[in-house]
Structure 1
């Protein structure tokens, strides 16, 4: 059965196409480039940098999300975060020291993940509850396939390095291409999606948002559906994003050739495209919650495979294909299910808490992997340690009460 999107839905989906270019670069080429700047193993430093970025996002999101819920504010915050992120993306091409590069990378990561909160919350304005699963899945699907266009252009410079250019010059061009792509595909959403759910404008919005964090947290905690859902999401999505963020560094530490790592992750994008769309339709047919549980179980197996069997390039390709089968679908249905649960006029406020554990942020998992790897000197044990995140997420998700709409207040 075909699924025809409205103009607003298509424009909302296009932002996923734009931001996914930087996401793909950050999970493939950038860690390898960082390893060329760093002295010694890169996984520990990269893990801690990701943790710092995630903690900054966790502190900002509930506050900014509450302010963005006011009339006309969502798109203004999107412009600010995308603008900051694009500038930081271009700036990453200039440092020659590992520490300076990490600082700019953290800024770009914070801006990118911040934009996701406002973008995710705009889903409730772009479509309706009964279409959220499929629209959210379309976003991830087209994001995966669309991001391959600028990524392949970047690879042409990074791998071939025409005209005898250095790796740094190739990366500078790649960062410019990625930033331009991100900005270009943000424009349709800004033009065609209107914020229809909002709170009235108020004075001292930022101060009131800070004061209101506690009240929002209490409302979430008193609602068993949202409370249990967020707790489950915290654990399993942190594991998902840890794998996304650290897989390339892990493969590099195992001695797998960088070109093989990048090409395998490119295959993930192509596998994830039809898988995400299929996941959205399966969620509509069998139930969103059931398909989320299937995805968590799939990632548990993926983590065990990575820890016990991943040693060669062939096995990394197998891992990349398995990730592609579950990644987009699990993320898409998690986003749409929360969009159905949260009060629409407080969407940013609620998504601020939701995205603390975020679309691409990883707090606990990266810290666990970095600490376990540093303590044991074995990155495989570091990866194995995140299995517990998926087990906890699965168990708590089973305890989420069934419901289709949130009780406001």
Structure 2
């Protein structure tokens, strides 16, 4: 992997990670806490089902949209469309204080966010060169973590300290939704202006029909290619646990009765830890092998899950958990994205990344649903969290079967 000065295209591509990460952080830290103040019953259960519905919709639509986005000039059009809709939905979260309509609007915003990531991920092959995938993908996650802290800190000041200037917490959250939406939209501009789709497939007379045919061909190619087959199966399981921990960490801590302010501040620290960790992880991947570093990350998440299930009882332990997650979260996501980018044909990148997203999002369905159902049946959230260990074990075993990729 070449490590050197970033090009204008690479910087612009990275900028979108800074933009979308603001909503990711808000939805991980503050939105579940706010939702718990307007909802009744278990926050983990309600939030888990909402995330499950969003993941199902994304996984069902992204392969077809991804295939269409592989046509010339279409990647950025789909990216702008999903970001625009998502930003509007983010603003609309402040229009209601009823739990159900709030969840509906959140599901729309979440669908748009994650859909935009498919088109954004696929633009990696247009923004840089093969040998720089690990570096640029890691830089994206790293700057996303640190950059998202700027609007998030502003939101925290308004929500938690707004009382000093006459702004109650509910009004503060409405302002926070607008700040986040504007930040997200603003950082979409550089990638739209400076990253051009250089890899695309030819347009045919029967676009929709050929898109479905192309999906079947792509799925067959993935299954017949040993490296892709085992990588995708492994990714399906281990990224499930990663996504579930990200999505449900705050609501899990809330159900345990931990102080909401402490939970939010701990997750903010996660962002600062993740910044250097993601960059270091990407460079270690180049030196010792991407697959080896992915195995290290999956094993680390097994340990993190066990810690969360059996030892998380106080705010101090949540801080420890947040730091542990920060060390590995960005690295495992970045190297998964870059490794997949190396394995797929560039002119069909969006189509392949659509399946990449399917595996990730259907896994998220399995994880959030598993945690929600077990928590609801047992009345103990830690049993739901413990079940995620199985997914990491299966992912680890399958990942070991992936042939080495130089």
- Mapped contact 1:113–1:360 kept (Cα < 8 A): no
Structure 2: state its 5+ residue gaps: none
Match of 2:67 in 1: 66
Match of 1:407 in 2: none
* CA displacement, residues 195-221 of structure 1 (integer Å, 9 cap, x when unaligned): 111001223423332343222211211
Cα distance in 1 for partners of 2:361, 2:384 equals: 22
Match of 1:99 in 2: 100
**Structure ranking higher in helix proportion:** 2
Cα distance in 2 for partners of 1:203, 1:22 equals: 38
Match of 1:258 in 2: 260
Match of 2:377 in 1: 375
Match of 1:322 in 2: 324
- Mapped contact 1:11–1:193 kept (Cα < 8 A): yes
Match of 1:87 in 2: 88
Bigger mean CA offset, 180-189 vs 162-171: 162-171
Cα distance in 2 for partners of 1:8, 1:361 equals: 32
> Alpha carbons of 1:133 and 1:2: their partners in 2 closer, same or farther (altered >3 Å)?
closer
- Mapped contact 1:137–1:276 kept (Cα < 8 A): yes
* CA displacement, residues 59-103 of structure 1 (integer Å, 9 cap, x when unaligned): 011100000001111000001010010000000111111110000
- Mapped contact 1:277–1:329 kept (Cα < 8 A): yes
Match of 1:36 in 2: 37
Cα distance in 1 for partners of 2:204, 2:172 equals: 47
Structure 1: state its 5+ residue gaps: 405-409
Match of 2:392 in 1: 390
SS of match in other structure, 1:124: helix
Q: How does 1:90-239 map to 2 (within 5 A)?
A: 90-162=91-163, 163-239=165-241
Bigger mean CA offset, 361-370 vs 134-143: 361-370
Match of 2:289 in 1: 287
Match of 1:46 in 2: 47
SS of match in other structure, 2:360: coil
Shift of 1:361: 7.6
SS of match in other structure, 2:277: helix
Cα distance in 2 for partners of 1:62, 1:211 equals: 11
* CA displacement, residues 233-257 of structure 1 (integer Å, 9 cap, x when unaligned): 0100010010000000000000001
Would you say 1:18 and 2:19 are equivalent positions?
Answer: yes
SS of match in other structure, 1:362: helix
Shift of 1:41: 1.5
Q: Structure 2 length normalisation: TM-score?
A: 0.97
Cα distance in 2 for partners of 1:131, 1:49 equals: 36
Q: How does 1:291-302 map to 2 (within 5 A)?
A: 291-302=293-304
Cα distance in 1 for partners of 2:223, 2:80 equals: 31
Q: In structure 2, which of residues 254, 269, 278 is the aligned counterpart of residue 276 of structure 1?
A: 278
Cα distance in 2 for partners of 1:316, 1:346 equals: 42
- RMSD (Å) for aligned C-alpha atoms: 1.4
Q: Structure 1 length normalisation: TM-score?
A: 0.97
Match of 2:346 in 1: 344
Cα distance in 2 for partners of 1:361, 1:97 equals: 29
Shift of 1:355: 1.2
> Alpha carbons of 1:151 and 1:223: their partners in 2 closer, same or farther (altered >3 Å)?
same
Cα distance in 2 for partners of 1:225, 1:361 equals: 19
Cα distance in 1 for partners of 2:106, 2:208 equals: 27
- Mapped contact 2:59–2:361 kept (Cα < 8 A): no
- Mapped contact 1:113–1:358 kept (Cα < 8 A): no
Match of 1:4 in 2: 5
Bigger mean CA offset, 88-97 vs 311-320: 88-97
* CA displacement, residues 143-196 of structure 1 (integer Å, 9 cap, x when unaligned): 000000000000011111243323321111001000100111110011111111
Cα distance in 2 for partners of 1:359, 1:299 equals: 18
